[in-house]
Structure formats: structure tokens, C-alpha cells
Chain A
């Protein structure tokens, strides 16, 4: 019974709850059991969770069941459990951002997205692992040990949201929240065979999201199906007066778009294949699955053309100036004075010494690296040459998108240049690690939405490949239409969802 429950999608669970076939407590307990069975620890197992709140989740589930019994539900997903990336503030639950410097910090408030899922009645299973302050593409930069890819536990689950993606891929949670600054939802989605959506910038409130780079960050869903992402996106999306960058427009009809796409009709859809996001350095097995998926789109009636976005080749350099600049400022607040870690060195309890010792002990290498780069990039005399120039290139990247979207409805590319690589492989080579986000970064720089859907397994290693769809700002519904069409067509070819092919699960 419980095995059956964990393999259901969120939409299926919602139906089962509505039909009275199961209860939220049963569903939640089933996932907690699965976590207990497979999640393991920093040393072994999937290690998707940094903190599991069994008690709280079951209490929320019991409340949901009581509501349903009384004939009230707050939302279609009322009672369906969810996992939350540890970068989102959760009142009463630890929030560490994968960093030692926030060890033990329990926020006195909820992020807006957390408040919304709580108000809708979704039990929160716990907080998922991540690269420290969301810096990384492998979840190996977590101060609490890496997450392992459920397909092959010697491999990375992507990053920074590897915990959320692995939790969903390992059936520990039907739904998860992630955050995507340069691809941290989509790239983990690609390498774990899950669906990950980065909504339009401003489409989902960032209030309570501990900022990595404020102008790039976006909260979004991680799920096993496109429809589930649409359901979650509609729940968390929409204007928030606490986030002045949140757009004040009605939430789109993503569920409707996903259902329309699932019928497999893409007649008249204009699809652009981004020329710059392919070629040398891209894994052949990834390119092969990508090409097949593009052909599939044609079969479904789409008009496919090749599109050039020449400035995308500068996206990586631009991103690695803007991001460190913003994060160097964001992380200045961690001064050991009010919360989190506090290291007092022997013999010198001055504020400066405490701050220095705490930061030395509390921040990992990647965080320190980016603080230094960002501080340099913003410093007087260099600001115009680096930060200022990066902002100009950012504008050009947005223009490339705008020009491309004059001729096509969506743009497509592989989500990640490679499948999941072995743990430790790129840990000492930051630049190689950064390349993982080559295809996802342009969307963050321009604020446009993107989705990664599973596109099969690479021939050479049998690991998942992601197919990325990008749409113009606020046209997130197109992601769901195209994503659902791809998902439906590929599922029928494979004879089932891709995660079912994972023998390790």
C-alpha cells in the first residue's frame, strides 16, 4: 500500500484523497517511511534531506484529514506532502542554506511561498539539501555533506537544488520547492529525471528566500510530472505585497495548459532551436536525445527552426560577475552577532576578531571565492569595467531573447551539457562546474521562464537527459503546454514514466 502511495504523482494523490481512498496521514507516513528507508546520511544513502519534520508533517496531515472529513478542503493539493529547499525561511523549522554559518537558525517567519503551501494544507516533510547558499551545480558544496543521485549514488544529483530533485526522484516526496538562480531547479531536474520549472522572474514571491543573487533568483516547483509542476506553480505564484519585484498580474492557467499539451497537439507552434546551446563539449548522448525530442515536436505539428542568440556565449561570464556582486553584499549580514554560528577566538573577543573567525569557520570555499570575486567586481575603479559591463551584456542577452521571440513561440535546448557526473569529479575545478549551467543561465539573466522535462536516458551511461523549453516573460503557460506534450509523447514511447526505468529505485 505505502509503496503504491509513494509512486503516485501529486495529482493522483489529490484524486485519491478526494475520493476517500486514502488519507493525508497515510500518504505523509508513506513518504516519511520512504525517507527513513532510503535517505541515509551524509555518509551514505540519497541524503536529500537536511531536516525531516515527521511530527510537524503528520500533525498537518491530521488537520488536513479532519478538514476533509468535515467537508472542507483548502486546495486541490490539500493533504499532499511537500519538501522544501533549505534556502526558504520556515517558521519553527531550521533554515541553514546548506551552510555552517546558519547552523541551528530557526526563522521567526515563513517565506511567502511556504505560507501559501501551509495555508493550502500541504504537510511539509522537511528541508532539502543544497549547495551552500545555492552556490554550485552538484550539491557537493553543502556544508552537511552531498546529496547522491538516486539513479546512481556515486553520482551528483545536480545543484544547487540537488536535495529537492533527489527527494522527488527517489519518491521521498511527490512535490518539492526549489530555487533557480542560474539553473538550480532545471539542471538537477535534468540529471535526476524530474521536471523542474523556473517561473518568470517576479512570477513567484521571493520574500523569505535567502538571496543568492536577488536579480536572478526565482522559486519554482520540482515534481515528477509537468501537470504536478503546473498545480504547484499555480499555488505558489501571484503577486506578493512583501516583494516589490513580484509582478502584479493574475496567475496563468498552467494546469489548463498542461492538460491541453498532454493531448499531443502542437499544431502551429513555432519552436526555435538555440544554435549557441549545443556543439563542442556537449555529451553525444545528450545531443542525441535532444535531437530526437525536437523531431518529436515536429511530429506533433510544431514548426521548428534554428535560431541564433549570439550573445548567449557571454552569458556565463556575465552571470559570474553579477551573481558574486550581489551575493557579496547579501552575505555581509552574517557577522556572528545576532544568529547562527559564533566563533570567539582565544584571547581576542573583539567584534572584528569574532566576525573573522566565524566567517572563516562558517563559510565554505566556494562561498568565500564568490564573495571575493564580487567584492572585487564592485570595488571602485573596477565596478564599471566588470559589474557595469556585465549589466550591459545582460541587456544584450535580453534583446537576443526578445528578437528570437519575435519569430518563435518557444526556444529549446538541452538543459545540461552532460548527464550526472561522478561525485568529486569537478569539485576542484570551479570553471568545469560552472559549465553545467551553460544552457540555463541566459533565462535567469533575462528573467524569462524555463522548464526541464525528462527526455530519456543517454546511451553511453543510461542516465537521464533534460530537455529545456524557454518562453517569453509571463508566457509560462507555453512551458506547460510544450512540456506536457513532450512528456506524453515520450512516456508512451517508453511505456511509462522515465523514473520507472530506474532499476536502482
Chain B
């Protein structure tokens, strides 16, 4: 069992060097090197052809759309775009990889030397991008018969090549040198901002939970003031923002435990465990690992014309960081409000709701205060909670028209999530509309006052705050369907 050093002690003694490798699965129609559909799922081995099965004689052809996406990602990350680059073969054995080499890029990536500014608690940190290169995904193994679902102990393994050949972009940072205490948060913010950028570019579904964005966390520690980097570990396939932060934090504590005890950190790959927030050893990875790279002879070089690159530059969306600042200003959100909006991934939803005519604060309130809780409870992304921006706008319009109040609106959302129809239909079915006729309200007021004659006296005597108790009784009598302000008016009129 590892000795974990408390985070405060780690940062007092060590400086981390952090590096992130993020794989982005592109949402092209077809695979990287063949015409097979590049969609997630499907019956195993139905979206395959001689090329992505690596059959003898089959040859790859580069997907031009994937090159376009790679260039756009590169440009959005402020990278230089290669005038001429090649694919290389990365030779190693992997059971899911039918050719036993991966077609990737080695010393000639399509995009290189860029940066992304990352904001954490009002501070900006520049993360330098070393490269963004194109490669293909592997297939997927299922190990059958064992207790753990892992290969050890399994009776046999099944391989599905539907995913083999799906285009990936790998974005590699240079070592990120940040104040030790900020490292976990910067890592999280970087991946989050990268995800938002990818989403804004429209080049990927950017679903971390489905693996369309996966982060590998490289981390090493060195004593403060040392001029040498320590030995790094590589935690593979971390697939949520929270996990990125936890993985960095855990590895810092683990490395420090080893170093404090005078031990040596092993250069190895590690697995991250969502449930415990810990990592465990994968395979040892020494410098001797030899991929025997050489240029893929079956593919001609990729040489994007400068005109095309400039044309693509013109298609870039507004930088998400700038957009965030602009919208915060426009919407009048406080820093704290904006942080919550950002963390929830709610900005695009709020933007769409505002576009339907809703006031920004109302839109924010529904998405972050109300619907986020339901998304969390259901374990889904906010965008998949079951309510659209248009529906949120409709609900708010009904509130504004005093057809319902906020409390009833929550029940309307329940109905919308349960697919009970439109907002109006939900209100109809569930009988949620506010009582608009004064008659029943006056009757309820009379009843409440009769039950509590002393209160009526207090109000008559000028103590208007005492009306609250009557309002409460009326609300109860009407099952919340009374407009509290109107009830108050009626009480005061009556007792004037």
C-alpha cells in the first residue's frame, strides 16, 4: 500500500511537472483511412472493411474531413500548421489493433507550437501545446469468463473492430509549470476549456463519459529548486473533469510518498479508479520501448495549401474564453454565478434560452439552480436532462404571465422530463395553473381570518407583516396555486 503524503505537505516541498495528452475522437462520417461509418456502437464487427480489419493487401486512404478538423483544432489552439507532413507507422502489438501497428504521426505532426490560456480563480495560466497530431483509434476487447472483466482470468476475449480506424486527434502539452497548489485545478481547467473549444468547433461530440475525449495525465515531482524533472507516471484514459483533478492530486501525494521514503518513482502507465479517486499500476514503460516509427509508405504526404488553411481559419468560432467574458458582461452574472454556470457546462444552454426571449438571470436560475440538480441525480449531462432551452423559455414565459409561479414551474419541469407533453399540457394534466379568480381566494382568506381572529386585529393595527400567516394558510388551502402577491393585496384591501 502506498504512503500518501497530505497535499499541503506535498506542495510545501515539491514542484510538479504536469503534462496532458488529450485524445479527441472526431465526429466525421467515415473512418480515418476507409469509408466505413465512424459511429459509436452498432452490432460488433458490422462497420468494418478490409482496410480497418487490416486484411492482407488492404490499403489506407486519408479522410480529408479529418484533416480539416485537425487543422481547425490546431488553429484554434494557436498552432502552426505544417506545410507538409506525413503519417508514420507506430509498430507495437496490441490485441485490438488489427495491423499490429497504428497509423499515427510521429516527427511530422499536422499542428505544432500553440497555446491555450486557462483561467483558474481569476488567474490566467498559459498552457503550451507541443503538437496536435492525427491517428486512428483501436478496436475494443471484451474479456469473457473472468470475475473482473479483465484479461487475467478470462476464458476468452472477443474483439470488436467497429471502433478501429475512427479518427483521433491527440493534443500534447509541453510540461505545464504552475504553482504546486494550482496543478490539479489547472489540469482540470485545461481539459475543460479544451472540451469547450472542441465543442464550439463542432468537430467532436466531446463526451468525456463516452470516451470521445480522453485525457492521459503525466506527472512528476521534483524537490523545490531542483533543476531536474523527476520520473513521471502516466495515468491513462481519465474521463471526467473531476477525475482529471483528482488524478493529479492523487499522483502528487503518491509520488511524494515514494520520494519522501527515499524510493524511486517507476516510469509506468497507471489506471485511474473513479470510485476511489486512486490510481493503480498498469504496465511498466521503460525508455527501451521501441515503436520503430517510420513513414507510412502507403500514404502520400499531407500538404494543406496555405489558402485552405486561411479559409479554415475563417471558420473558427469565437474563442470560448473570450465568449465567456463577453456573455458574463452581457448577462450581468457575478463571478461566482459565472463560475457555477461554467462548471455546469450550462453556458450554451443559457445562451440558447436567452435567444428564445428569456431574461439571462431567469435562464441561469432554471439551468443551474433547478435542472442541474436533476441532471446530477440522474447522472447525465445537463444537456441531456430532458428539457430543451426552448421549453425553459416557455416555462419562464408562463411564470411571467402569472399562469404559474416558480414553485409550480418546478412541477412543470417534472412533467416535461417525464414526457407528459408541452408545458401547457403538463399544467392542464396536473392542474397546476394559478387561481386567477379572486372569488375562491377571498373565501379562503375569510376562512383563515375566522380561524385566527387575533391576526386580523394585528393587521388592522398596521402590522402588515402579520399577513404572512394568512397568506400561508391561503396557499395551503389552494395547494400552492394562489398568486401570493394577489392574496396579500386582497387581505390588505379587506382589512383597510
Q: Are B100 and A244 in contact (CB under 8 A)?
A: no
Main SS at interface, chain B:
loop
Q: Are A211 and B98 in contact (CB under 8 A)?
A: no
Q: Closest approach, in angstroms, between the C-beta of A349 and any C-beta of chain B? A: 10
Which residues of the partner chain B approach A332 to less than 8 Å between Cβ atoms?
91, 93, 99-101
Q: Are A245 and B292 in contact (CB under 8 A)?
A: no
A241 in the interface, Cβ–Cβ < 8 Å?
yes
Which of B57, B89, B98, B297 lies in contact with A338, CB distance below 8 A? B98
Q: Are B61 and A242 in contact (CB under 8 A)?
A: yes
Complex: how many Å from CA A326 to CA B56? 14
When C-beta atoms are compared, the residue in chain A nearest to B291 turns out to be A380
Complex: how many Å from CA A338 to CA B99? 11
Q: A329-B89, A329-B101, A333-B99 are in contact. Are A387 and B57 (CB under 8 A)?
A: no
Of A88, A111, A332, A378, which is in contact with the most chain B CB atoms at under 10 Å from its CB?
Answer: A332
Q: A207-B58, A242-B61, A383-B292 are in contact. Are A326 and B297 (CB under 8 A)?
A: yes
- Residues facing A in B88-116 (CB within 8 A) are 89, 91, 93, 95, 98-101
- Residues facing A in B223-279 (CB within 8 A) are none
| Interface size of B in residues (CB-CB distance below 8 Å) | 27
B447 in the interface, Cβ–Cβ < 8 Å?
no
Q: Closest approach, in angstroms, between the C-beta of B284 and any C-beta of chain A? A: 17
Of B62, B93, B292, which is in contact with the most chain A CB atoms at under 10 Å from its CB?
Answer: B292
Q: Are B297 and A378 in contact (CB under 8 A)?
A: no
Main SS at interface, chain A:
loop
A168 in the interface, Cβ–Cβ < 8 Å?
no
Complex: how many Å from CA A207 to CA B50? 10
Complex: how many Å from CA A325 to CA B88? 13
B12 in the interface, Cβ–Cβ < 8 Å?
no
Q: Are A95 and B292 in contact (CB under 8 A)?
A: no
B294 in the interface, Cβ–Cβ < 8 Å?
yes
Q: Closest approach, in angstroms, between the C-beta of B481 and any C-beta of chain A? A: 67
Q: Are B56 and A335 in contact (CB under 8 A)?
A: no
Q: Closest approach, in angstroms, between the C-beta of B165 and any C-beta of chain A? A: 14
When C-beta atoms are compared, the residue in chain A nearest to B156 turns out to be A349
Complex: how many Å from CA A144 to CA B14? 65
Complex: how many Å from CA A332 to CA B290? 14
Q: A242-B59, A244-B299 are in contact. Are A335 and B290 (CB under 8 A)?
A: no
Q: Closest approach, in angstroms, between the C-beta of B66 and any C-beta of chain A? A: 14
Complex: how many Å from CA A418 to CA B386? 79
A30 in the interface, Cβ–Cβ < 8 Å?
no
Q: Are B59 and A244 in contact (CB under 8 A)?
A: yes
B298 in the interface, Cβ–Cβ < 8 Å?
yes
A102 in the interface, Cβ–Cβ < 8 Å?
yes
Q: Are B294 and A383 in contact (CB under 8 A)?
A: yes
Which residues of the partner chain A approach B59 to less than 8 Å between Cβ atoms?
206-207, 242-244
Which of A89, A242, A329 lies in contact with B292, CB distance below 8 A? A329
A379 in the interface, Cβ–Cβ < 8 Å?
yes
Q: Closest approach, in angstroms, between the C-beta of B41 and any C-beta of chain A? A: 22
Which residues of the partner chain B approach A243 to less than 8 Å between Cβ atoms?
59, 61, 298
Which residues of the partner chain A approach B312 to less than 8 Å between Cβ atoms?
none
Q: Closest approach, in angstroms, between the C-beta of B243 and any C-beta of chain A? A: 30
Which residues of the partner chain B approach A208 to less than 8 Å between Cβ atoms?
57-58
B211 in the interface, Cβ–Cβ < 8 Å?
no
- Residues facing B in A38-93 (CB within 8 A) are 88-89
Q: Are B294 and A329 in contact (CB under 8 A)?
A: yes
B300 in the interface, Cβ–Cβ < 8 Å?
yes
Which residues of the partner chain A approach B60 to less than 8 Å between Cβ atoms?
244
Q: Are A380 and B290 in contact (CB under 8 A)?
A: yes
Write the A96-123 contact mask toward B (1 if CB under 8 angstroms, else 0): 0100001001011101000000000000
8 contacts between A and B (CB under 8 A): A88-B57, A102-B56, A111-B57, A207-B58, A211-B57, A245-B297, A326-B294, A332-B101
- B: residues with CB less than 8 A from A are 50, 53-62, 89, 91, 93, 95, 98-101, 290, 292-294, 297-300
- A: residues with CB less than 8 A from B are 88-89, 95, 97, 102, 105, 107-109, 111, 206-211, 213-215, 241-245, 325-326, 328-329, 332-333, 335, 337-339, 351, 375, 378-380, 383, 387
**Nearest 7 Cβ contacts at the A-B interface:** A214-B297, A332-B100, A378-B292, A215-B297, A210-B56, A89-B57, A208-B57
